């Protein structure tokens, strides 16, 4: 009886913790280290960190912050943002993170996936795909923190990432990001039905019910929570929190085995 992983996904800009809405303007949340201490106390399943501006600002990951996070956290950790080569990935893994998220760099250097997989295994790489609907309702893939449109179908791209060797896929709906309006279940379902690796749904979580939809209708293996774990409520102040574990468990229990 495996539990569905419910993962706070924390957005960084260098040393600050922020939260975006639809990949647009960001609000300052606080200090990442204080925040992870709270998540540690709350015993969350896993934590995901994304430095959302590292790639576009051509910065390397902030190793100092990553060190501080790893020293505090005794749970699975993943990091994405500005990982351009295998040496950087290895350094992050050696700090104590077990998964690296790759997005933009795969369009430029697809062989990096295989290179990292050969070193630390497929399970150490999460392929991250940012998706937005165009005016006609067609799904389109974006890179560079949602600023560059890529001419590839999301489902085909997901399948391609799987064949390159990613161990998981993080599917982020840009339209849903920071909206509290629920995951893009249709998108998640299309992709999870086309691949065998676990799919992590991201963007739009506002309630346990939304998580249930992503898992039961969208076939997501895991979900990321953003606004929901850093704000009290929609349009309200910062409050680092995590949904009630018993409530989550009774809603999400896997019954496949």
Partner 1 sequence: MIIIVDYGMGNLGSVANMFKKVGAQAKVSSDLEEINKASKILLPGVGAFDTAMNRINDAGMNEVLNYKALKEKVPVLGICLGMQLLTAGSEEGVLPGLGWINAKTYNFSGRINNELKIPHMGWNIAEIEQNTAITKRYQGEIRFYFVHSYFVQVDDESNSMMKTNYGLTFDSAIVKDNIFGAQFHPEKSHKFGMTLFENFAKI
Binding site for partner 1 (CB under 8 A): 1-5, 40, 43, 45-46, 70-71, 74-76, 93-96, 98, 120-121, 123, 167, 196-198, 221-222, 256-257
CA 140 centroid distance within chain: 18
Residues whose CB falls within 8 Å of the CB of residue 221, separated by 6 or more in sequence, listed in order: 4, 5, 168, 192, 198, 199, 200
Strand partners, 142: 130, 149
Q: Which is nearer to partner 1, 40 or 181 (CB)?
A: 40
Q: Which is nearer to partner 1, 104 or 192 (CB)?
A: 192
Q: Which is nearer to partner 1, 5 or 132 (CB)?
A: 5
Nearest distance from C-beta of residue 231 to partner 1, angstroms: 24
Nearest distance from C-beta of residue 90 to partner 1, angstroms: 12
Catalytic residue among 14, 45, 130, 184: 130
Which three-class secondary structure state does DSSP give residue 129? Answer: strand
Task: Annotate 87-114 with DSSP letters as a single string.
Answer: HHHHHHHHHT--EEEESHHHHH-THHHH
130 flagged as catalytic: yes
Nearest distance from C-beta of residue 120 to partner 1, angstroms: 7
Residues whose CB falls within 8 Å of the CB of residue 163, separated by 6 or more in sequence, listed in order: none
What positions carry a catalytic annotation? 130
């Amino acid at each position: 009886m495996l539990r569905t992983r419910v993962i706070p996904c924390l957005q960084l800009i260098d040393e600050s913790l922020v939260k975006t809405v639809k990949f647009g303007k960001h609000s300052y949340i606080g200090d990442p280290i204080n925040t992870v201490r709270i998540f540690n106390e709350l015993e969350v399943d896993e934590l995901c960190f994304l430095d959302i501006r590292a790639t576009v600002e051509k910065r390397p990951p902030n190793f100092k912050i990553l060190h501080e996070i790893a020293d505090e956290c005794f749970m699975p950790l993943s990091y994405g943002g500005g990982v351009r080569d295998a040496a950087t990935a290895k350094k992050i893994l050696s700090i104590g993170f077990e998964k690296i998220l790759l997005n933009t760099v795969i369009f430029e250097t697809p062989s990096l996936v295989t290179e990292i997989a050969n070193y630390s295994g497929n399970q150490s790489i999460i392929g991250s795909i940012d998706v937005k609907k165009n005016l006609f309702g067609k799904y389109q893939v974006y890179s560079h923190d949602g600023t560059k449109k890529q001419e590839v179908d999301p489902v085909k791209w997901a399948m391609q990432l799987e064949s390159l060797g990613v161990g998981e896929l993080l599917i982020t709906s840009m339209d849903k990001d920071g909206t509290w309006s629920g995951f893009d279940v249709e998108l998640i379902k299309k992709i999870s039905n086309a691949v065998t690796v676990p799919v992590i749904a991201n963007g739009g979580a506002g309630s346990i019910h939304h998580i249930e939809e992503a898992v039961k209708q969208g076939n997501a293996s895991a979900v990321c929570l953003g606004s929901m774990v850093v704000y009290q409520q929609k349009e309200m102040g910062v409050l680092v929190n995590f949904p009630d574990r018993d409530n989550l468990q009774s809603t999400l229990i896997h019954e496949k085995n």
